[in-house]
Amino acid sequence: MFNASFPRNPAGGPAQATKSGDEALGRLPEWDLTHLYPGASSPEFNNAFDEAAKKARSFSARWKGKLEEAAGKTGDDGLGAAIETYEALGDTLGRLGSFAGLSYYANAADPALRKLYGDTSARITEIYADLLFFELELNRLDEETINKALEADARFAHYHPWVLDLRLEKPHQLDDRIEQLFMEKSTTGGQAFNRLFDQTMDRMRFTVDGEELPLEKTLNLLSDAKEPVRRKAAEALAATFKDNLPTFSLIMNTVAKDTEINSRWHAFEDIADSRHLSNRVEREVVDALTEAVREAYPRLSHRYYAMKAKWLGMEQMNYWDRNAPLPDAAERVIPWDEARDTVLSAYGAFSPEMADIARRFFDEQWIDAPIRSGKRTGAFAHPTVPSAHPYVLVNYLGKPRDVMTLAHELGHGVHQVLAAKQGALMCSTPLTLAETASVFGEMLTFRALLSQTTDKAKRKAMLAQKVEDMINTVVRQIAFYQFERKVHTARREGELTEDQINEMWMSVQAESLGPAIKLADGYETYWSYVPHFIHSPFYVYAYAFGDCLVNSLYAVYQNAESGFQDKYFEMLTAGGTKHHSELLKPFGLDASDPAFWSKGLSMIEGLIDELEALDKE
């Protein structure tokens, strides 16, 4: 997962650090997308498209129908030379797509940027029509031919990990013309409904005490210290979600059906198997994770929320109290500069090199931090392409959670910088391992702050917030995954009504959150704003996978005498060249072992134990 010049900066020059509406935050940076292209109307951007289209046609003319012959050759006539050209074209198209997409996500309210994103996506799809044959034809070569080419051609052998991954797709590969149809129709299918979702979310406003607020600021009120503020925000969210429910229901139904059609035609057995394949993780491993987390619900979320209800003086919390601060938690806005220094210090204590890479994001304008109309909610780190550098988007409000989000996304960014060394075809890390560096970065930052905190009330507040974040990352995301499975399974039998989707949502939420939280009227619509359900079906278990993995990994780090940092950097630098079993082996970890997940979950349980002990002091 894209830019052009922003409306506030129509010439397309470097964006300047801007002042937030809240002076306490300090100057918040905006990213500089001219590192990719000077602007959407620049000769560089338009010429890159024309040149890519020309090279794609030449590539097709040079190699289509000739890969078996090339497999018996080396040098510029061998498969290695073909892949090098293919990879270079992918880098160019990825840069173009990144430019348009990042522009769109920075301000989806601008019609010009929406058009740029749509036109760029369509044009890239058209160019890929000339390249689609390559992977399909390469996969039709028999194993003996591939193995001989790997032995004879060193340039081809360099891409051995990518070739192995590609071969996994072979059982699900269709005729070239059918695959081309799927690709071209994607712009009017799933991709179109992705855009409809984004634009619907951008237009929505939520009325709280007479003020019209965007989603990000309204969600932020759910962690306000005052219960009436939280309640009004929750009711405003529910009311607007309900008004838009027919649209969201249509989008969900369409995406689920689109996913089912793709899975059926490509001969995937389970509704999530295509995601598992792209993640290079076995279904059995994901099932083991899911069951381990579900079995742990009573020990984790149910237990913690019962404790929190007592701290808030309630027998049962309403759903809008779930992320409320503790009664004695100090409220303070954390300025941007302090957040930056906190994260860089924590990273530097682990590895100076890690801090040096993260510092570039601040110094070289690779971060977009202010909240503004039209900007995508939440946060992400986008790798762009190896010939450029990643970008990070956050919506910074100065809360402790925002500092953790910054640490999380910079972990992604560091990972993406290191993995870029593998090149455009092999830098991409499967989603299950893509969350490793981000969650590890969060953990480093949390542990650094906790070690400096001796005040009991502050320590309790920090522990509680970390437990809540981990519950949101593990318990909540597995509940999301279960919800998706229910929706996609039921959609195979016909279109789902709004009430049916709501009921599925409420059932998994009740199971995961437990009896200490009252799911009052209105909450049944809250599934509608989760972008992962639309943009990346079944993505969400990757968060739980990453959190549990990092919990186990961090335990190894705490007990390691030396050499951990080197092994950790080797893991990140590997990108997509190794299976998760290979990457975890140097740390003595095995995700196929049920005890692995129990070990990760026990760390969350240990933090809850520590909170309980603080209560008794």
Q: How confident is the model at residue 580 (pLDDT cuts 50, 70, 90)?
A: confident
pLDDT at 331: 72
> What mean pLDDT comes out for the span 193-216?
93
Q: Are 573 and 421 in contact (CB under 8 A)?
A: yes
Q: Is the pLDDT of residue 15 over 50?
A: no
| Tens-place pLDDT, residues 112-122 | 999 999 999 99
Q: Is the pLDDT of residue 92 over 90?
A: yes
pLDDT at 2: 28
Instruction: Name beta bridge partners: 393.
Output: 368, 380
- pLDDT above 70 covers a percentage of the chain that reads 96
> What mean pLDDT comes out for the span 278-284?
89
Tell me what the pLDDT averaged over the chain comes to. Answer: 91
Q: Is the pLDDT of residue 138 over 70?
A: yes
pLDDT at 7: 28
| Tens-place pLDDT, residues 454-468 | 888 888 888 999 999
In a domain, 66, yes or no: yes
The runs of H, that is alpha helices, within 111-244 are: 111-128, 132-140, 143-152, 154-157, 160-168, 176-185, 190-203, 215-220, 227-243
Q: Is the pLDDT of residue 216 over 90?
A: no
Q: Is the pLDDT of residue 11 over 60?
A: no
In a domain, 71, yes or no: yes
- Longest CA pairwise span in the chain (Å): 76
Q: How confident is the model at residue 221 (pLDDT cuts 50, 70, 90)?
A: very high
Q: CA nearest 513: which of 456, 577, 454, 468?
A: 468
pLDDT at 16: 34
> What mean pLDDT comes out for the span 55-82?
96
- Domain residues for the domain of 125 are 18-190
Position with higher pLDDT, 501 vs 1: 501
Q: Is the pLDDT of residue 14 over 70?
A: no
pLDDT at 434: 85
In a domain, 114, yes or no: yes
Q: How confident is the model at residue 19 (pLDDT cuts 50, 70, 90)?
A: very low
Q: Is the pLDDT of residue 78 over 80?
A: yes
Q: Is the pLDDT of residue 9 over 50?
A: no
In a domain, 101, yes or no: yes
pLDDT at 6: 26
Phi-psi region of 409 (alpha: psi -120 to 50; beta: other; left: phi over 0): alpha
> What mean pLDDT comes out for the span 555-579?
90
CATH code (residue 81): 1.20.140.70
Own/partner long-range contacts of 221-226 (Cβ < 8 Å, ≥24 apart): 222/320, 222/322, 222/323, 222/324, 223/323, 223/324, 223/325, 223/399, 223/401, 224/324, 225/324, 225/325, 225/329, 225/331
In a domain, 291, yes or no: no
The DSSP symbol for 64 reads T
In a domain, 111, yes or no: yes
pLDDT at 201: 92
Which residues, 6+ apart, have CB-to-CB distance to 188 below 8 Å?
none
Q: Is the pLDDT of residue 491 over 80?
A: yes
Which residues, 6+ apart, have CB-to-CB distance to 261 below 8 Å?
none
> What mean pLDDT comes out for the span 59-63?
97
Q: Which residues of 138-177 are buried (b: 16+ CB within 10 A; e: fewer)?
A: bbebeeeebeebbebbebbebbebbbebbeeeeeebeeee
Q: How confident is the model at residue 411 (pLDDT cuts 50, 70, 90)?
A: very high
In a domain, 206, yes or no: no
> What mean pLDDT comes out for the span 561-571?
90
Q: Is the pLDDT of residue 164 over 70?
A: yes
Q: Rounded to two decimals, what is the model's pTM?
A: 0.83
pLDDT at 459: 87
* Domain count across the chain: 1
Instruction: Name beta bridge partners: 207.
Output: 212
Position with higher pLDDT, 390 vs 175: 390
Q: Is the pLDDT of residue 451 over 50?
A: yes
| Tens-place pLDDT, residues 287-297 | 999 999 999 99
> What mean pLDDT comes out for the span 350-372?
97
Lowest mean pLDDT among 30-39, 72-81, 142-151, 173-182: 173-182
Position with higher pLDDT, 91 vs 596: 91
Q: How confident is the model at residue 278 (pLDDT cuts 50, 70, 90)?
A: confident
Q: Is the pLDDT of residue 582 over 70?
A: yes
For residues 70 and 175, give the distance between their C-alpha atoms in angstroms, rounded to a whole number: 21
Q: Is the pLDDT of residue 220 over 80?
A: yes
| Tens-place pLDDT, residues 222-247 | 999 999 999 999 999 999 999 999 99
Q: Is the pLDDT of residue 356 over 80?
A: yes
pLDDT at 5: 26
Distance set, CA 575 to CA 416, 420, 429, 504, 530 (Å): 8, 8, 5, 36, 27
> What mean pLDDT comes out for the span 178-191?
86
For residues 117 and 102, give the distance between their C-alpha atoms in angstroms, rounded to a whole number: 9
pLDDT at 327: 84
In a domain, 178, yes or no: yes
> What mean pLDDT comes out for the span 395-420?
94
